[in-house]
Structure 1
Amino acid sequence: MPPITEVAAPPVRGRFLNEDERIVIADLSRAGASTRQIAAELGRDCSTISRELRRNRDQVSGQYRPHAAQARADARRPRPKTGKIAANPALRQAVQDGLDQRWSPRQIVKRLRRDFPDRPELHVVHETIYQALYVQGRGELRREIASALRTGRALRCPRRQAQQRVPRMSTPMVMISERPAEADDRAIPGHWEGDLIIGKDKKSAIGTLVERATRYVMLVHLPHGRSADVVRDALIDTVQALPTHLWRSLTWDQGAEMSGHARFTAATDIPVYFCDPHSPWQRGSNENTNGLLRQYFPKGTDLSVHTRAHLDAVAVQLNGRPRETLGWDTPAERLANLLNEAS
Protein backbone atom coordinates (compact mmCIF):
# COMPACT_ATOMS: atom_id res chain seq x y z
CA MET A 1 0.00 0.00 0.00
CA PRO A 2 1.25 3.57 -0.70
CA PRO A 3 2.16 5.68 2.33
CA ILE A 4 -0.64 7.64 3.97
CA THR A 5 1.31 10.91 3.79
CA GLU A 6 2.87 12.00 0.51
CA VAL A 7 6.60 12.50 0.43
CA ALA A 8 7.42 16.12 -0.39
CA ALA A 9 9.14 16.56 -3.75
CA PRO A 10 12.75 17.69 -3.53
CA PRO A 11 13.15 21.43 -4.07
CA VAL A 12 13.86 22.44 -7.63
CA ARG A 13 17.46 23.49 -8.03
CA GLY A 14 17.73 26.85 -9.72
CA ARG A 15 20.34 29.44 -10.36
CA PHE A 16 20.82 30.22 -6.65
CA LEU A 17 21.82 27.94 -3.82
CA ASN A 18 18.87 26.80 -1.72
CA GLU A 19 18.73 26.05 1.99
CA ASP A 20 19.23 22.27 1.60
CA GLU A 21 22.39 22.86 -0.39
CA ARG A 22 23.65 25.25 2.25
CA ILE A 23 23.11 22.56 4.92
CA VAL A 24 25.25 20.17 2.86
CA ILE A 25 27.92 22.86 2.50
CA ALA A 26 27.96 23.40 6.26
CA ASP A 27 28.20 19.65 7.05
CA LEU A 28 30.99 19.00 4.55
CA SER A 29 32.84 22.16 5.56
CA ARG A 30 32.83 21.08 9.22
CA ALA A 31 34.08 17.65 8.12
CA GLY A 32 37.10 19.31 6.49
CA ALA A 33 36.11 18.85 2.85
CA SER A 34 37.66 21.20 0.31
CA THR A 35 35.62 23.55 -1.86
CA ARG A 36 36.27 21.30 -4.86
CA GLN A 37 34.93 18.28 -3.01
CA ILE A 38 31.84 20.18 -1.89
CA ALA A 39 31.28 21.46 -5.43
CA ALA A 40 31.56 17.94 -6.85
CA GLU A 41 29.07 16.65 -4.27
CA LEU A 42 26.49 19.31 -5.14
CA GLY A 43 27.19 19.47 -8.86
CA ARG A 44 28.00 23.17 -8.60
CA ASP A 45 30.93 25.21 -9.81
CA CYS A 46 33.85 25.46 -7.41
CA SER A 47 33.75 29.26 -7.52
CA THR A 48 30.09 29.17 -6.40
CA ILE A 49 31.01 27.29 -3.23
CA SER A 50 34.05 29.47 -2.55
CA ARG A 51 32.00 32.65 -2.96
CA GLU A 52 29.23 31.29 -0.73
CA LEU A 53 31.64 30.47 2.09
CA ARG A 54 33.34 33.83 1.81
CA ARG A 55 30.22 36.00 1.65
CA ASN A 56 27.83 34.27 3.99
CA ARG A 57 29.93 32.98 6.87
CA ASP A 58 29.70 34.72 10.23
CA GLN A 59 32.06 37.69 10.16
CA VAL A 60 32.90 37.40 13.89
CA SER A 61 33.34 33.69 14.51
CA GLY A 62 34.19 32.74 10.94
CA GLN A 63 31.83 29.76 11.11
CA TYR A 64 29.40 28.90 8.33
CA ARG A 65 25.83 28.41 9.58
CA PRO A 66 23.40 27.38 6.81
CA HIS A 67 20.21 29.00 8.10
CA ALA A 68 21.93 32.31 8.84
CA ALA A 69 23.60 32.13 5.41
CA GLN A 70 20.21 31.63 3.79
CA ALA A 71 18.84 34.68 5.61
CA ARG A 72 21.78 36.82 4.46
CA ALA A 73 21.31 35.70 0.86
CA ASP A 74 17.57 36.43 0.97
CA ALA A 75 18.22 39.90 2.38
CA ARG A 76 20.62 40.74 -0.46
CA ARG A 77 18.39 39.46 -3.24
CA PRO A 78 15.55 42.04 -3.46
CA ARG A 79 15.75 44.54 -6.31
CA PRO A 80 16.18 47.40 -6.98
CA LYS A 81 19.05 48.09 -4.64
CA THR A 82 20.44 51.35 -3.43
CA GLY A 83 23.65 52.03 -5.28
CA LYS A 84 26.93 52.57 -3.52
CA ILE A 85 27.04 56.22 -4.53
CA ALA A 86 23.52 56.94 -3.30
CA ALA A 87 24.19 55.17 0.01
CA ASN A 88 27.35 57.16 0.79
CA PRO A 89 26.89 60.97 0.88
CA ALA A 90 30.65 61.59 1.06
CA LEU A 91 31.28 59.46 -2.01
CA ARG A 92 28.38 61.06 -3.86
CA GLN A 93 29.72 64.56 -3.18
CA ALA A 94 33.26 63.61 -4.22
CA VAL A 95 32.04 62.14 -7.52
CA GLN A 96 29.77 65.11 -8.18
CA ASP A 97 32.63 67.55 -7.51
CA GLY A 98 34.79 65.70 -10.03
CA LEU A 99 32.06 65.80 -12.67
CA ASP A 100 31.58 69.52 -12.05
CA GLN A 101 35.28 69.99 -12.82
CA ARG A 102 34.83 68.09 -16.11
CA TRP A 103 36.78 65.06 -14.88
CA SER A 104 36.04 61.75 -16.54
CA PRO A 105 34.68 58.91 -14.37
CA ARG A 106 37.98 57.07 -14.70
CA GLN A 107 39.93 60.12 -13.52
CA ILE A 108 37.60 60.44 -10.54
CA VAL A 109 37.95 56.85 -9.35
CA LYS A 110 41.74 56.85 -9.78
CA ARG A 111 42.06 60.09 -7.84
CA LEU A 112 39.83 58.81 -5.02
CA ARG A 113 41.98 55.71 -4.63
CA ARG A 114 45.14 57.80 -4.57
CA ASP A 115 43.87 60.46 -2.17
CA PHE A 116 42.02 58.08 0.20
CA PRO A 117 43.89 54.76 0.17
CA ASP A 118 42.63 53.84 3.67
CA ARG A 119 38.94 54.52 2.98
CA PRO A 120 37.55 51.63 0.90
CA GLU A 121 34.05 53.07 1.19
CA LEU A 122 35.20 55.78 -1.25
CA HIS A 123 36.60 53.29 -3.76
CA VAL A 124 34.43 52.52 -6.78
CA VAL A 125 34.99 51.57 -10.40
CA HIS A 126 34.14 53.94 -13.22
CA GLU A 127 31.24 51.74 -14.35
CA THR A 128 29.51 52.54 -11.04
CA ILE A 129 29.58 56.22 -11.93
CA TYR A 130 28.25 55.57 -15.43
CA GLN A 131 25.43 53.49 -13.95
CA ALA A 132 24.56 56.30 -11.55
CA LEU A 133 24.42 58.76 -14.45
CA TYR A 134 22.57 56.72 -17.01
CA VAL A 135 20.20 54.45 -15.08
CA GLN A 136 16.89 56.24 -14.69
CA GLY A 137 15.12 56.72 -11.37
CA ARG A 138 18.00 56.29 -8.97
CA GLY A 139 18.76 59.91 -8.28
CA GLU A 140 22.35 59.13 -7.37
CA LEU A 141 23.86 61.97 -9.38
CA ARG A 142 22.51 65.05 -11.13
CA ARG A 143 21.66 64.13 -14.69
CA GLU A 144 23.51 67.04 -16.28
CA ILE A 145 25.01 64.73 -18.86
CA ALA A 146 25.93 67.37 -21.42
CA SER A 147 28.15 69.21 -18.95
CA ALA A 148 29.33 66.20 -16.96
CA LEU A 149 30.64 63.90 -19.70
CA ARG A 150 32.68 64.78 -22.76
CA THR A 151 30.41 62.85 -25.12
CA GLY A 152 27.28 64.70 -23.99
CA ARG A 153 25.15 61.62 -24.60
CA ALA A 154 21.89 61.32 -22.72
CA LEU A 155 21.73 57.58 -23.44
CA ARG A 156 24.39 54.94 -23.40
CA CYS A 157 25.55 53.39 -26.65
CA PRO A 158 25.79 49.61 -26.26
CA ARG A 159 29.03 48.08 -27.43
CA ARG A 160 28.50 44.54 -28.58
CA GLN A 161 31.43 42.25 -29.11
CA ALA A 162 32.27 41.25 -32.65
CA GLN A 163 31.12 37.68 -32.03
CA GLN A 164 27.74 38.98 -30.90
CA ARG A 165 27.02 40.83 -34.14
CA VAL A 166 23.95 39.75 -36.04
CA PRO A 167 25.00 38.50 -39.50
CA ARG A 168 23.86 40.90 -42.22
CA MET A 169 24.59 38.59 -45.12
CA SER A 170 22.30 35.78 -46.18
CA THR A 171 25.22 34.28 -48.10
CA PRO A 172 28.39 33.42 -46.13
CA MET A 173 31.10 36.06 -46.35
CA VAL A 174 34.68 35.41 -47.47
CA MET A 175 36.86 37.32 -45.05
CA ILE A 176 39.88 39.45 -45.92
CA SER A 177 42.20 36.90 -44.34
CA GLU A 178 41.48 34.65 -47.34
CA ARG A 179 42.28 37.34 -49.89
CA PRO A 180 45.29 36.46 -52.12
CA ALA A 181 48.64 37.60 -50.78
CA GLU A 182 49.32 39.47 -54.03
CA ALA A 183 46.70 42.02 -53.02
CA ASP A 184 48.54 42.99 -49.83
CA ASP A 185 51.80 44.22 -51.37
CA ARG A 186 50.03 46.17 -54.17
CA ALA A 187 52.46 44.77 -56.72
CA ILE A 188 49.77 43.36 -59.00
CA PRO A 189 46.99 45.71 -60.12
CA GLY A 190 43.33 44.74 -60.18
CA HIS A 191 42.53 44.54 -56.48
CA TRP A 192 39.94 47.15 -55.48
CA GLU A 193 38.53 48.55 -52.27
CA GLY A 194 34.94 49.77 -52.06
CA ASP A 195 32.58 51.62 -49.76
CA LEU A 196 29.73 54.14 -49.67
CA ILE A 197 29.76 57.77 -48.57
CA ILE A 198 26.41 58.61 -47.00
CA GLY A 199 24.40 61.81 -47.45
CA LYS A 200 21.88 63.72 -45.37
CA ASP A 201 19.66 61.66 -43.07
CA LYS A 202 21.27 58.50 -44.50
CA LYS A 203 18.88 58.68 -47.46
CA SER A 204 21.42 59.09 -50.26
CA ALA A 205 24.82 57.68 -51.08
CA ILE A 206 27.65 57.51 -53.62
CA GLY A 207 29.71 54.37 -54.14
CA THR A 208 33.50 54.67 -54.19
CA LEU A 209 35.96 52.23 -55.72
CA VAL A 210 39.75 52.58 -55.40
CA GLU A 211 42.35 50.38 -57.09
CA ARG A 212 45.06 49.48 -54.57
CA ALA A 213 48.13 49.63 -56.84
CA THR A 214 47.36 52.79 -58.85
CA ARG A 215 44.92 54.54 -56.43
CA TYR A 216 42.62 55.00 -59.41
CA VAL A 217 39.13 56.12 -58.33
CA MET A 218 35.75 55.23 -59.81
CA LEU A 219 32.49 56.64 -58.46
CA VAL A 220 29.25 54.65 -58.48
CA HIS A 221 26.08 56.62 -59.23
CA LEU A 222 23.25 55.68 -56.83
CA PRO A 223 20.37 58.11 -57.46
CA HIS A 224 17.71 55.58 -56.40
CA GLY A 225 18.92 54.64 -52.93
CA ARG A 226 21.45 52.20 -51.55
CA SER A 227 19.56 48.94 -51.17
CA ALA A 228 21.46 45.73 -51.84
CA ASP A 229 19.90 45.22 -55.28
CA VAL A 230 20.54 48.83 -56.36
CA VAL A 231 24.19 48.72 -55.23
CA ARG A 232 24.76 45.34 -56.87
CA ASP A 233 23.40 46.45 -60.25
CA ALA A 234 25.29 49.75 -60.11
CA LEU A 235 28.56 47.96 -59.37
CA ILE A 236 28.01 45.54 -62.23
CA ASP A 237 27.55 48.49 -64.63
CA THR A 238 30.61 50.28 -63.25
CA VAL A 239 33.10 47.43 -63.52
CA GLN A 240 32.30 47.05 -67.21
CA ALA A 241 34.10 50.35 -67.88
CA LEU A 242 37.52 48.68 -67.50
CA PRO A 243 39.01 45.48 -68.94
CA THR A 244 38.42 42.26 -67.02
CA HIS A 245 42.13 41.77 -66.26
CA LEU A 246 41.99 44.89 -64.06
CA TRP A 247 39.34 43.32 -61.81
CA ARG A 248 40.85 40.60 -59.67
CA SER A 249 39.04 41.21 -56.36
CA LEU A 250 36.90 43.67 -54.43
CA THR A 251 37.24 44.34 -50.68
CA TRP A 252 34.28 45.83 -48.81
CA ASP A 253 33.22 46.40 -45.23
CA GLN A 254 30.34 44.45 -43.72
CA GLY A 255 27.65 46.95 -44.70
CA ALA A 256 24.23 45.53 -45.51
CA GLU A 257 24.33 47.20 -48.93
CA MET A 258 26.70 44.42 -50.04
CA SER A 259 24.44 41.54 -49.07
CA GLY A 260 24.06 40.78 -52.79
CA HIS A 261 27.76 39.97 -53.11
CA ALA A 262 27.14 36.41 -54.29
CA ARG A 263 25.06 37.59 -57.27
CA PHE A 264 27.63 40.27 -58.03
CA THR A 265 30.38 37.65 -58.14
CA ALA A 266 28.27 35.36 -60.30
CA ALA A 267 27.64 38.17 -62.79
CA THR A 268 31.18 39.57 -62.96
CA ASP A 269 33.43 36.70 -61.79
CA ILE A 270 34.99 39.14 -59.28
CA PRO A 271 35.39 37.67 -55.77
CA VAL A 272 34.34 39.89 -52.86
CA TYR A 273 36.25 39.89 -49.57
CA PHE A 274 34.94 41.44 -46.38
CA CYS A 275 36.90 43.34 -43.72
CA ASP A 276 36.76 42.47 -40.05
CA PRO A 277 34.28 44.46 -37.92
CA HIS A 278 35.50 47.92 -36.85
CA SER A 279 38.68 47.63 -38.96
CA PRO A 280 38.66 50.53 -41.46
CA TRP A 281 42.45 50.37 -41.84
CA GLN A 282 41.98 47.17 -43.84
CA ARG A 283 40.64 49.44 -46.61
CA GLY A 284 43.10 52.26 -46.05
CA SER A 285 43.20 53.57 -49.63
CA ASN A 286 39.42 53.71 -49.79
CA GLU A 287 39.12 55.49 -46.44
CA ASN A 288 41.67 58.09 -47.54
CA THR A 289 39.81 58.63 -50.80
CA ASN A 290 36.49 59.04 -49.00
CA GLY A 291 38.08 61.82 -46.98
CA LEU A 292 39.20 63.56 -50.17
CA LEU A 293 35.73 63.19 -51.66
CA ARG A 294 34.19 65.10 -48.78
CA GLN A 295 35.72 68.23 -50.34
CA TYR A 296 33.26 67.73 -53.19
CA PHE A 297 30.40 66.06 -51.30
CA PRO A 298 30.22 67.56 -47.77
CA LYS A 299 28.61 65.65 -44.95
CA GLY A 300 24.97 66.43 -44.29
CA THR A 301 24.14 67.17 -47.93
CA ASP A 302 21.82 65.37 -50.32
CA LEU A 303 24.02 63.24 -52.58
CA SER A 304 21.21 62.16 -54.88
CA VAL A 305 21.23 65.55 -56.65
CA HIS A 306 24.62 64.87 -58.28
CA THR A 307 24.45 63.63 -61.84
CA ARG A 308 26.48 60.89 -63.44
CA ALA A 309 28.41 63.51 -65.42
CA HIS A 310 29.32 65.40 -62.23
CA LEU A 311 30.59 62.23 -60.56
CA ASP A 312 32.74 61.48 -63.59
CA ALA A 313 34.18 64.99 -63.49
CA VAL A 314 35.09 64.63 -59.81
CA ALA A 315 36.72 61.26 -60.48
CA VAL A 316 38.75 62.75 -63.35
CA GLN A 317 40.02 65.52 -61.08
CA LEU A 318 41.00 63.09 -58.32
CA ASN A 319 42.72 60.77 -60.78
CA GLY A 320 44.68 63.74 -62.13
CA ARG A 321 46.23 64.61 -58.75
CA PRO A 322 49.95 63.76 -58.39
CA ARG A 323 50.48 61.32 -55.53
CA GLU A 324 53.61 61.09 -53.41
CA THR A 325 53.06 57.37 -52.92
CA LEU A 326 53.17 56.97 -56.73
CA GLY A 327 56.41 58.94 -57.13
CA TRP A 328 54.33 62.00 -58.02
CA ASP A 329 52.65 60.20 -60.89
CA THR A 330 48.90 60.53 -61.14
CA PRO A 331 46.52 57.56 -60.83
CA ALA A 332 45.36 58.23 -64.38
CA GLU A 333 48.94 57.98 -65.67
CA ARG A 334 49.55 54.72 -63.84
CA LEU A 335 46.33 53.22 -65.22
CA ALA A 336 47.16 54.40 -68.73
CA ASN A 337 50.53 52.62 -68.51
CA LEU A 338 48.79 49.41 -67.51
CA LEU A 339 46.37 49.66 -70.41
CA ASN A 340 49.23 50.34 -72.85
CA GLU A 341 51.18 47.36 -71.58
CA ALA A 342 48.13 45.14 -71.97
CA SER A 343 47.59 46.29 -75.54
Structure 2
Amino acid sequence: MKGLESKLCERWSPEQIVGRELKGKLSFKTIYNWLYKDFFDVSLDKGKAAKTKEKRGKFNIGKSISERPEEVKRKEVFGHWELDSVVSARGESKACFATFVELKMRFYVAIKMPDRSKNSMLEAIKQLTSNIPKEAFKTFTSDRGKEISCWKKVEEMGIDFYFADPYCSRQRGCNENNNGLLREF
Protein backbone atom coordinates (compact mmCIF):
# COMPACT_ATOMS: atom_id res chain seq x y z
CA MET A 1 0.00 0.00 0.00
CA LYS A 2 2.85 2.41 0.76
CA GLY A 3 4.29 1.92 -2.76
CA LEU A 4 0.87 2.62 -4.22
CA GLU A 5 0.46 5.74 -2.10
CA SER A 6 3.93 7.01 -3.05
CA LYS A 7 3.11 6.65 -6.77
CA LEU A 8 -0.13 8.59 -6.24
CA CYS A 9 1.84 11.33 -4.45
CA GLU A 10 4.17 11.44 -7.47
CA ARG A 11 1.01 12.18 -9.50
CA TRP A 12 0.83 8.83 -11.27
CA SER A 13 -2.71 8.02 -12.38
CA PRO A 14 -4.30 4.77 -11.20
CA GLU A 15 -4.20 3.59 -14.85
CA GLN A 16 -0.44 4.22 -14.99
CA ILE A 17 0.15 2.43 -11.68
CA VAL A 18 -1.80 -0.65 -12.72
CA GLY A 19 -0.28 -0.72 -16.21
CA ARG A 20 3.33 -0.44 -15.03
CA GLU A 21 3.43 -1.84 -11.51
CA LEU A 22 0.40 -4.01 -10.74
CA LYS A 23 -0.75 -5.53 -14.04
CA GLY A 24 -3.13 -8.41 -13.34
CA LYS A 25 -2.98 -7.83 -9.57
CA LEU A 26 -5.32 -4.90 -9.10
CA SER A 27 -7.88 -2.88 -11.05
CA PHE A 28 -7.47 0.86 -11.53
CA LYS A 29 -11.15 1.18 -10.61
CA THR A 30 -10.34 -0.28 -7.20
CA ILE A 31 -7.65 2.37 -6.70
CA TYR A 32 -10.14 5.10 -7.64
CA ASN A 33 -12.66 3.67 -5.14
CA TRP A 34 -10.00 3.68 -2.42
CA LEU A 35 -9.06 7.26 -3.30
CA TYR A 36 -12.64 8.47 -3.06
CA LYS A 37 -13.05 6.71 0.28
CA ASP A 38 -9.91 8.45 1.58
CA PHE A 39 -7.92 5.23 2.18
CA PHE A 40 -4.76 7.11 1.19
CA ASP A 41 -3.18 10.25 2.57
CA VAL A 42 -3.20 11.90 -0.86
CA SER A 43 -4.82 15.21 -1.77
CA LEU A 44 -7.31 14.83 -4.59
CA ASP A 45 -9.18 17.35 -6.65
CA LYS A 46 -12.63 15.83 -6.21
CA GLY A 47 -14.60 17.94 -8.61
CA LYS A 48 -12.43 20.80 -9.64
CA ALA A 49 -13.20 24.32 -8.51
CA ALA A 50 -14.99 26.49 -11.03
CA LYS A 51 -12.57 27.86 -13.54
CA THR A 52 -12.25 31.56 -14.08
CA LYS A 53 -14.57 32.84 -16.74
CA GLU A 54 -13.24 33.16 -20.24
CA LYS A 55 -12.43 36.84 -20.73
CA ARG A 56 -11.42 36.64 -24.38
CA GLY A 57 -14.88 35.59 -25.54
CA LYS A 58 -16.21 32.76 -27.69
CA PHE A 59 -18.01 32.63 -31.00
CA ASN A 60 -20.92 30.55 -32.28
CA ILE A 61 -20.30 30.28 -36.01
CA GLY A 62 -18.71 27.52 -38.04
CA LYS A 63 -19.61 23.90 -38.76
CA SER A 64 -20.74 21.73 -35.85
CA ILE A 65 -19.00 18.48 -35.00
CA SER A 66 -22.25 16.70 -35.89
CA GLU A 67 -21.60 17.63 -39.55
CA ARG A 68 -18.22 15.87 -39.65
CA PRO A 69 -17.84 12.87 -41.96
CA GLU A 70 -18.49 9.52 -40.23
CA GLU A 71 -14.94 8.37 -41.08
CA VAL A 72 -13.56 10.87 -38.55
CA LYS A 73 -15.35 9.16 -35.66
CA ARG A 74 -14.16 5.70 -36.78
CA LYS A 75 -10.51 6.88 -36.85
CA GLU A 76 -9.71 4.62 -39.78
CA VAL A 77 -8.48 7.29 -42.20
CA PHE A 78 -5.31 9.31 -41.71
CA GLY A 79 -5.64 13.11 -41.86
CA HIS A 80 -8.25 14.06 -39.28
CA TRP A 81 -6.86 16.28 -36.51
CA GLU A 82 -7.99 17.74 -33.20
CA LEU A 83 -6.44 20.99 -32.02
CA ASP A 84 -6.42 23.19 -28.96
CA SER A 85 -4.24 25.54 -26.97
CA VAL A 86 -2.58 24.75 -23.63
CA VAL A 87 -1.74 27.49 -21.15
CA SER A 88 0.51 27.11 -18.14
CA ALA A 89 -1.47 26.56 -14.94
CA ARG A 90 0.89 28.93 -13.17
CA GLY A 91 -0.26 31.94 -15.20
CA GLU A 92 3.17 33.54 -15.03
CA SER A 93 3.48 33.96 -18.77
CA LYS A 94 1.21 34.54 -21.74
CA ALA A 95 3.17 31.95 -23.70
CA CYS A 96 1.35 28.71 -24.44
CA PHE A 97 1.23 25.79 -26.86
CA ALA A 98 -0.92 25.04 -29.85
CA THR A 99 -1.50 21.31 -29.72
CA PHE A 100 -2.49 19.01 -32.57
CA VAL A 101 -3.21 15.29 -32.60
CA GLU A 102 -3.90 13.16 -35.66
CA LEU A 103 -6.67 10.76 -34.72
CA LYS A 104 -5.68 7.54 -36.50
CA MET A 105 -1.99 7.43 -35.61
CA ARG A 106 -2.24 9.55 -32.40
CA PHE A 107 0.60 11.69 -33.73
CA TYR A 108 0.85 14.61 -31.28
CA VAL A 109 2.51 17.96 -31.99
CA ALA A 110 2.88 20.94 -29.64
CA ILE A 111 4.02 24.26 -31.09
CA LYS A 112 4.97 27.14 -28.80
CA MET A 113 2.99 30.35 -29.27
CA PRO A 114 3.71 33.79 -27.75
CA ASP A 115 0.04 34.19 -26.73
CA ARG A 116 -3.44 32.76 -27.35
CA SER A 117 -4.39 35.13 -30.14
CA LYS A 118 -5.93 34.07 -33.42
CA ASN A 119 -2.82 35.28 -35.26
CA SER A 120 -0.55 33.10 -33.11
CA MET A 121 -2.81 30.08 -33.67
CA LEU A 122 -2.88 30.69 -37.41
CA GLU A 123 0.93 30.86 -37.48
CA ALA A 124 1.13 27.59 -35.53
CA ILE A 125 -1.27 25.93 -37.99
CA LYS A 126 0.78 27.24 -40.92
CA GLN A 127 3.96 25.93 -39.27
CA LEU A 128 2.39 22.50 -38.82
CA THR A 129 0.99 22.29 -42.34
CA SER A 130 4.22 23.47 -43.94
CA ASN A 131 6.20 20.61 -42.35
CA ILE A 132 3.82 17.77 -43.21
CA PRO A 133 2.49 16.85 -46.68
CA LYS A 134 -0.76 18.60 -47.62
CA GLU A 135 -2.53 15.24 -48.09
CA ALA A 136 -2.20 14.64 -44.32
CA PHE A 137 -4.83 17.29 -43.55
CA LYS A 138 -8.48 16.52 -44.23
CA THR A 139 -10.23 18.03 -41.17
CA PHE A 140 -9.54 19.94 -37.98
CA THR A 141 -11.83 19.76 -34.95
CA SER A 142 -11.53 22.28 -32.12
CA ASP A 143 -13.38 23.94 -29.28
CA ARG A 144 -14.78 27.43 -29.71
CA GLY A 145 -11.98 29.33 -28.00
CA LYS A 146 -11.29 32.83 -29.28
CA GLU A 147 -7.86 31.80 -30.61
CA ILE A 148 -9.64 29.55 -33.13
CA SER A 149 -11.42 32.47 -34.79
CA CYS A 150 -8.86 32.06 -37.61
CA TRP A 151 -10.81 29.00 -38.84
CA LYS A 152 -11.97 30.64 -42.09
CA LYS A 153 -8.36 31.19 -43.17
CA VAL A 154 -7.64 27.54 -42.38
CA GLU A 155 -10.56 26.46 -44.57
CA GLU A 156 -9.12 28.64 -47.35
CA MET A 157 -6.06 26.38 -47.10
CA GLY A 158 -8.32 23.45 -48.09
CA ILE A 159 -8.87 21.92 -44.63
CA ASP A 160 -12.43 21.48 -43.37
CA PHE A 161 -12.90 22.89 -39.86
CA TYR A 162 -15.44 21.63 -37.30
CA PHE A 163 -16.28 22.76 -33.79
CA ALA A 164 -17.16 20.66 -30.75
CA ASP A 165 -20.26 21.54 -28.79
CA PRO A 166 -19.72 23.96 -25.89
CA TYR A 167 -18.56 22.30 -22.66
CA CYS A 168 -18.14 18.91 -24.38
CA SER A 169 -14.42 18.29 -24.17
CA ARG A 170 -15.14 14.55 -24.50
CA GLN A 171 -15.88 15.20 -28.18
CA ARG A 172 -12.17 15.93 -28.60
CA GLY A 173 -10.99 13.37 -26.07
CA CYS A 174 -7.77 12.38 -27.81
CA ASN A 175 -6.48 15.97 -27.77
CA GLU A 176 -7.70 16.65 -24.24
CA ASN A 177 -6.02 13.49 -22.92
CA ASN A 178 -2.69 14.36 -24.56
CA ASN A 179 -2.92 17.94 -23.29
CA GLY A 180 -3.38 16.57 -19.77
CA LEU A 181 -0.22 14.53 -20.15
CA LEU A 182 1.63 17.59 -21.49
CA ARG A 183 0.51 19.62 -18.45
CA GLU A 184 1.63 16.81 -16.15
CA PHE A 185 5.17 17.02 -17.46
Identity value in percent: 31
SS of residue in 2 equivalent to 1:225: coil
- Which runs of 5 or more structure 2 residues have no equivalent in the other structure? 1-45
SS of residue in 2 equivalent to 1:262: helix
Name the structure 1 match of 2:65.
Answer: 176
Compared with structure 1, are the counterparts of its residues 291 and 168 closer, same or farther at alpha carbon in structure 2 (3 Å cutoff)?
closer
Aligned match for 1:187, one of 67, 76, 88: 76
Could you tell me how far apart the structure 2 residues matched to 1:237 and 1:287 are?
21
Name the structure 1 match of 2:103.
Answer: 212
Could you tell me how far apart the structure 1 residues matched to 2:147 and 2:164 are?
14
Name the structure 2 match of 1:249.
Answer: 139
Residue 226 in structure 1 maps to residue 124 in structure 2: no
Amino acid at match of 2:143: D
- Give, in angstroms, the shift of residue 206 of structure 1: 0.5
Name the structure 1 match of 2:3.
Answer: none
Name the structure 2 match of 1:99.
Answer: none
Residue 264 in structure 1 maps to residue 154 in structure 2: yes
- Give, in angstroms, the shift of residue 262 of structure 1: 0.3
Name the structure 1 match of 2:126.
Answer: 236
- Give, in angstroms, the shift of residue 226 of structure 1: 1.5
SS of residue in 2 equivalent to 1:240: helix
Amino acid at match of 1:289: N
Per-residue Cα deviation, 1:260-302 (whole angstroms, up to 9, x for no partner) = 1101221x21111100011011011101111111233xxxxxx
Greater relative contact order, per chain length (Cα 8 Å cut-off, separation 6+): 2
SS of residue in 1 equivalent to 2:128: helix
Which aligned runs of 4 or more in structure 1 are off by greater than 4 angstroms? none
Per-residue Cα deviation, 1:235-275 (whole angstroms, up to 9, x for no partner) = 11211211111110000001000011101221x21111100
Amino acid at match of 1:249: T
Could you tell me how far apart the structure 1 residues matched to 2:174 and 2:82 are?
7
Amino acid at match of 2:122: R
Q: Relative to total residues, which structure has the larger helix share, 1 or 2?
A: 1
Per-residue Cα deviation, 1:214-252 (whole angstroms, up to 9, x for no partner) = 100111221x21211111122112112111111100000
Could you tell me how far apart the structure 2 residues matched to 1:244 and 1:178 are?
22
SS of residue in 2 equivalent to 1:289: helix
Could you tell me how far apart the structure 2 residues matched to 1:291 and 1:275 are?
18
Could you tell me how far apart the structure 1 residues matched to 2:124 and 2:136 are?
18
Amino acid at match of 1:187: E
Name the structure 2 match of 1:62.
Answer: none
Could you tell me how far apart the structure 2 residues matched to 1:274 and 1:232 are?
16
Per-residue Cα deviation, 1:127-177 (whole angstroms, up to 9, x for no partner) = xxxxxxxxxxxxxxxxxxxxxxx99x8xx99x9xxxxxxx7338x311100
- Work out the number of aligned pairs and report it: 135
SS of residue in 1 equivalent to 2:86: strand
Could you tell me how far apart the structure 1 residues matched to 2:86 and 2:63 are?
23
Could you tell me how far apart the structure 1 residues matched to 2:154 and 2:87 are?
21
8 Å Cα contact 2:95-2:112 kept in structure 1: no
Per-residue Cα deviation, 1:62-89 (whole angstroms, up to 9, x for no partner) = xxxxxxxxxxxxxxxxxxxxxxxxxxxx
Amino acid at match of 1:183: V
Give RMSD over aligned pairs.
2.7
Q: Relative to total residues, which structure has the larger strand share, 1 or 2?
A: 2
Could you tell me how far apart the structure 2 residues matched to 1:219 and 1:239 are?
13
Name the structure 2 match of 1:69.
Answer: none
Per-residue Cα deviation, 1:96-115 (whole angstroms, up to 9, x for no partner) = xxxxxxxxxxxxxxxxxxxx
Could you tell me how far apart the structure 2 residues matched to 1:242 and 1:280 are?
26
Name the structure 2 match of 1:196.
Answer: 85
SS of residue in 1 equivalent to 2:171: helix
Could you tell me how far apart the structure 2 residues matched to 1:169 and 1:241 are?
29
- Which runs of 5 or more structure 1 residues have no equivalent in the other structure? 1-149, 160-166, 297-343
Name the structure 2 match of 1:286.
Answer: 175
SS of residue in 1 equivalent to 2:98: strand
